[in-house]
Amino acid sequence: MRKPLNNILIGAAAGAAATWLMDQITTKMYEAQPQEITDRENAVRGDKTAYEIASEKIFHTDKFGTAIHWALGISAGVLYGALRNRTPFRYGSGVAFGVAFWLLMDELANTALGLTPPPKQFPWQTHARGLAGHAVLGAALELPYDAMDVGH
The answer to whether 73 and 16 are in contact (CB under 8 A) is yes
Whether 12 has a pLDDT exceeding 70, the answer reads: yes
Sign for the CA dihedral angle at 26, 32, 38, 41 comes to negative
Going by pLDDT thresholds of 50, 70 and 90, the confidence category of residue 152 is low
Per-residue pLDDT of 29-65, as tens digits, reads 999 999 999 999 999 999 999 999 999 999 999 999 9
Nearest CA to 53 among 65, 69, 41, 40? 65
Query: What radius of gyration, in Å, describes the C-alpha atoms of the chain?
Result: 16
SS3 percent helix, strand, coil of the chain, rounded to 5, is 80, 0, 20
pLDDT range class, residue 151, cuts 50, 70, 90:
low
